[in-house]
């Protein structure tokens, strides 16, 4: 019997204010590591992860975007081809939580995802 395997590709984008932990989440998801060092993302960065489950192979591109306003024009092009968004906020920064509505609206208007 031939073993049928389905392959999927997903592009996820992490968005939120600057310094909320997007890069830390990305590194935890991909490498299962956490670093307390802060490194500001300039523009965008991405890592890939492949998940094998129930004869389905899912290749995930995880895109890390800069939260600084001066980089927004650089990151908007990556929103258009995203399949989903991960909204990130800092639990010690109430404003970063309030701004999630802004980030969600930006994703909805630029990605075309329903």
CATH code for the domain of 84: 3.40.50.300
* Number of structural domains found in the chain: 1
Mean pLDDT throughout 29-56? 79
pLDDT of residue 19: 87
> Minimal CA–CA distance to 44: which of 14, 19, 20, 21?
14
Q: What is the pTM of this model?
A: 0.77
Phi-psi region of 16 (alpha: psi -120 to 50; beta: other; left: phi over 0): left
Distance CA 75, CA 114 (A): 20
Which of 41-50, 51-60, 71-80, 86-95 has the highest average model confidence (pLDDT)? 86-95
| Res 9 pLDDT > 90 | yes
Structure tokens at 58: 């899912």
Q: Is residue 96 part of a domain?
A: yes
Question: Cα 23–112–58 angle (5° rounding)?
Answer: 55
Domain assignment of residue 92, given as a range: 6-111
Do residues 29 and 49 touch, judged by C-beta distance below 8 A? Answer: yes
Three-state DSSP at 3 gives coil
- Any domain includes 1: no
Mean pLDDT of the chain: 81
Q: Which of 7-11, 30-34, 69-73 has the highest mean pLDDT?
A: 7-11
CA–CA dist 71, 33 (Å, integer): 26
Give the Cα separation of 82 and 77 in Å (integer).
Answer: 10
Quick one: average pLDDT of 75-88? 81
Q: How large is the average pLDDT for residues 80-93?
A: 92
């Amino acid at each position: 019997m031939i073993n049928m395997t389905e392959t999927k590709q997903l592009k996820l984008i992490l968005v939120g204010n600057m310094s909320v932990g997007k890069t830390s989440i990305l590194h935890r998801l991909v490498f299962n590591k956490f670093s307390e060092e802060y490194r500001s993302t300039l523009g965008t960065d991405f890592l890939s992860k492949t998940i094998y489950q129930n004869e389905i192979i899912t290749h995930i591109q995880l895109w890390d975007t800069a939260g600084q306003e001066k980089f927004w024009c650089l990151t908007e092009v990556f929103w258009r081809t995203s399949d989903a968004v991960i909204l990130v906020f800092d639990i010690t920064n109430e404003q970063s939580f309030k701004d999630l509505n802004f980030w969600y609206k930006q994703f909805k208007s630029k990605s075309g995802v329903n």
